[in-house]
Amino acid sequence: MKPMNRSSYAGLPERFFARVNPTPVAEPHLLRFNHALALELALDIGDLDPRALAGIFSGNVVPQGAEPIAMAYAGHQFGHFVPQLGDGRAILLTDAIDRAGVRRDIQLKGSGRTPYSRGGDGRAALGPVLREYLVSEAMYALGIATTRSLAAVTTGEPVFREEALPGAILTRVAASFVRVGTFQYYGARDDADAVRRLADYVIERHFPQAKTEQNPYLALLREVTGAQASLIASWMHVGFIHGVMNTDNMAVSGETIDFGPCAFMDVYDPAAVFSSIDQQGRYAYGNQPHAAVWNLARFAETLLPIIDTSAERAVELAGEVLATFSTRFADLSLAGVRRKLGLSACEEGDAALAEDLLDAMHRNQADFTLTFRRLCDAAEPEAADADVRVLFVNPRDYDEWASRWRARLARDVLDPRQRAAAMRRVNPAYIPRNHRIQQVIDAAIDGQDFGPFAELSTVLSQPYEQREGFDTYAEAPQAGERVLQTFCGT
Ligand code: AMP
Ligand code: MG
C-alpha cells in the first residue's frame, strides 16, 4: 500500500480544523468495501485483506502520511444559527486525486470524539451507516451528484442511543466536505480573511473558471447557486427528500451530503415529510427548492465583504445572483419532467401537462416511482394503460390526463420505441424504498444477517434496468410495510 498524503484542507491555516486521530475500536470487522470506488480513487488498497481494510477504515490504523483532522463549521439548524458545530464524529483522513484528475476527500464517520463533539459520543450506529451506504450509492447509480461510500465496518462496541445498538463506521468520499456552514463559521466571527481563503480554496478546487471572472467571489456564488439548482431538481425528479437541509448539510460542491433521515417518497405528496424532527415540514419534498435558496442566501451573506467593499453594492450584486435560482430551477425542473414524460421538443403547454399529472397523482395517492416507470411501458406502440391506471384511486383521472399526453406525444418527433427506451433511462425501476432499507437494517441488527444489505446494494446499482428476480424490489410497500418516519443518524 502506498503512503497517503496530507489532505489539501489540512494545508489551510490551523483555525480551519483540529488535528485529531480516530479513537481505536474494540473489534473492527469489514462489512463492505467498495472496490469499484477504490479503483476510481487509485488508492491501491483494494488488494489488502479484509482484516487490514477493517483496520484502516475503522481508524485503528492510521496510514502513513495521513494527517487526520476534524473540520470546523457552523450552521443554521432548522433556521436557528449555531456558531460552532464542526465534525463531531467525522475525521478527514486524506484526499486522493481520482482517475479523472479530481481531488476527493476521504472521511471516516463515527470514528470517535473530536474537539467539536460537544455532548456527543463521536460514534455512529449500524443502522444509519447502512442507510447512508445504500442511499448514497443509490444516488450515484441514479446519476445524481452525491458523496459516495467506500467502506463500512462494525466496531464490536455498542453505542447508546435510546437503546444499545451495534456501532459502525462509514468511510465516505466527497468532492469536498466544505459546507455553507463552513463559510458561516468564519462569517460569524467577522473573519473576512478566513472567508477569503476558504473562497479561494473552493474556487481552486471546484470552480476554477470563476478565477477568470471580473468578480471571482460573485462568480463563486453564481456557480454554487447553479450547482444547487441542478442538484435539487435532480432530487425532485426521483422523489428524494433530504430531510435535514440545514446549512451545515449543504455542500458547496453541489453534492448530496449527510443522509440522516432522508427518504424516497412512495405515494406522491408535495408535503411529504419523513424526518421525525421536522415537525413543521420545513424540509418537506416540495419545500426543498425554497430551503435551498434560503441556505444560499446565508452563504451569500458570508461572501458580502469580499464581493464588494460597498456593503450596499455587495447586497445588490448577490441579490441578483440569488434571484437566478428560481428560473434556473424551473428550467431544469421542466427539462427533467419533459424527459420523464418522453417529450423531446418543447411546447408551451408542457409545464401544465406535467403539473396536471402530479396533481392527479396527489389526489389519487399514486406511487411516484411506479407511475413514471409504467408510463415508459405505456409509451410503447402497443401501449396499454392498465398498469398505470391501477395506481390511481380513481383511474378516470389518469385516463383523462393520458388522452392529453397521447395527443401531445403524437406531435412529438421521437419514434415510440426510442421514446420508451429514453424514458426508461430517466425513470428508475428501483429506488431505495424506506421499507426495504428498514428490512435490511432489521436483518442486520436482529439477525446479524447482511445478505439483504448485499442484495439491495446489487438491485440499486442499476436502477434503470429492470432485472429478472428483482421484481419485488420495484413494488411499493404493502399497507403493513410502510415506514412513515425516519430518524437522524445520531
Ligand atoms: P448531523 O445532524 O449529523 O448533521 O450533525 C449535526 C452536528 O452534530 C454535527 O456537528 C455533527 O458532527 C454533530 N454530531 C452528530 N452526532 C454526533 C455524535 N454522535 N457525536 C458527536 N457529534 C455528533
Ligand atoms: Mg451534518
> Rounded to whole angstroms, how far apart are CA atoms 28 and 24?
9
Distance (angstroms) between ligand 2 centre and the Cα of 172 equals 13
Average pLDDT, the chain: 96
Do the beta carbons of residue 31 and residue 153 sit within 8 Å?
Answer: yes
Distance (angstroms) between ligand 1 centre and the Cα of 162 equals 16
378-428 pLDDT per residue, tens? 999 777 799 999 999 999 999 999 999 999 999 999 999 999 999 999 999
418-440 pLDDT per residue, tens? 999 999 999 999 999 999 999 99
Kindly write down the DSSP assignment for every residue of 20-66, as one continuous string. Answer: -PPPP-SS-EEEEE-HHHHHHTT-S-TTS-HHHHHHHHTTSS--TT-
> What was the pLDDT predicted at 11?
97
Global pTM? 0.97
The mean-pLDDT minimum among 40-54, 248-262, 446-460 falls in 40-54
> Rounded to whole angstroms, how far apart are CA atoms 152 and 229?
31
Which residue lies with its CA nearest to atom 22 of ligand 1? 88
Do the beta carbons of residue 275 and residue 244 sit within 8 Å?
Answer: yes
Backbone angles phi, psi at 432, to 5 degrees: -75, 85
> What was the pLDDT predicted at 97?
97
Give yes or no for residue 258 CB within 6 A of ligand 1. yes
Mean pLDDT of 79-85: 98
Strand-pairing partners, residue 70, are 18
Give yes or no for residue 85 CB within 6 A of ligand 1. yes
166-224 pLDDT per residue, tens? 999 999 999 999 999 999 999 999 999 999 999 999 999 999 999 999 999 999 999 99
How many of the other CB atoms lie within 10 Å of CB of 269? 16
Which residue lies with its CA nearest to atom 12 of ligand 1? 88
> Rounded to whole angstroms, how far apart are CA atoms 172 and 431?
20
User: Which secondary structure element, helix H or strand E, spans residue 358, and what is its range?
Assistant: helix 350-363
> What was the pLDDT predicted at 2?
79
Do the beta carbons of residue 174 and residue 105 sit within 8 Å?
Answer: yes
Quick check: 485 pLDDT over 90? no
Quick check: 488 pLDDT over 80? no
The mean-pLDDT minimum among 253-267, 316-330, 380-394 falls in 380-394
Which residue lies with its CA nearest to atom 15 of ligand 1? 490
> What was the pLDDT predicted at 51?
97
DSSP 249: G
Give yes or no for residue 181 CB within 6 A of ligand 1. no
**Amino acid letter, residue 22:** P
Mean pLDDT of 35-56: 94
Residue 54 confidence class, pLDDT cut points 50, 70, 90: very high
Q: What angle do CA 408, 414, 417 make, to 5 degrees?
A: 105
> In ligand 1, which atom is closest to the CA atom of 77?
6
Mutate which of 20, 76, 85, 107 for ligand 1 pocket (most atoms within 8 A of beta carbon) = 85
Give yes or no for residue 261 CB within 6 A of ligand 1. no
Distance (angstroms) between ligand 1 centre and the Cα of 114 equals 11
Quick check: 1 pLDDT over 90? no
Residue 104 confidence class, pLDDT cut points 50, 70, 90: very high
> Rounded to whole angstroms, how far apart are CA atoms 355 and 288?
17
Rounded-to-5 percentages of helix, strand, coil across the chain: 45, 15, 40
Quick check: 280 pLDDT over 60? yes
Residue 281 confidence class, pLDDT cut points 50, 70, 90: very high
Quick check: 490 pLDDT over 60? no
Residue 445 confidence class, pLDDT cut points 50, 70, 90: very high
Give yes or no for residue 88 CB within 6 A of ligand 1. yes
Mean pLDDT of 225-242: 98
How many of the other CB atoms lie within 10 Å of CB of 42? 12
Q: Please, which residues have CB less than 5 A from ligand 2, an ion?
A: 249, 258
Q: Cα(first)–Cα(last) distance of the chain, in Å?
A: 33
Distance (angstroms) between ligand 2 centre and the Cα of 421 equals 38
Q: Which residue matches cell numbers 461510500?
A: 149
> In ligand 1, which atom is closest to the CA atom of 121?
20
Using DSSP bridges, classify how beta strands 29-33 and 263-264 pair: parallel, antiparallel or unpaired: unpaired
> Rounded to whole angstroms, how far apart are CA atoms 318 and 310?
12
Nearest ligand (C-alpha, residue 249): 2
Which candidate, 239, 256, 275, 257, places its Cα nearest to that of 78?
275
Quick check: 487 pLDDT over 90? no
Distance (angstroms) between ligand 2 centre and the Cα of 249 equals 5
Nearest ligand (C-alpha, residue 123): 1
Q: Is 248 a catalytic residue?
A: yes
> What was the pLDDT predicted at 90?
98
Give yes or no for residue 243 CB within 6 A of ligand 1. no
> What was the pLDDT predicted at 466?
96
Do the beta carbons of residue 186 and residue 198 sit within 8 Å?
Answer: yes
> What was the pLDDT predicted at 44?
86
Q: Where are the beta strands (DSSP E) in 256-364?
A: 263-264
> Rounded to whole angstroms, how far apart are CA atoms 202 and 219?
12
Residue 489 confidence class, pLDDT cut points 50, 70, 90: low
Of 87, 95, 105, 248, the active-site residue reads 248
Give yes or no for residue 84 CB within 6 A of ligand 1. no
Three-state secondary-structure class, residue 160: strand
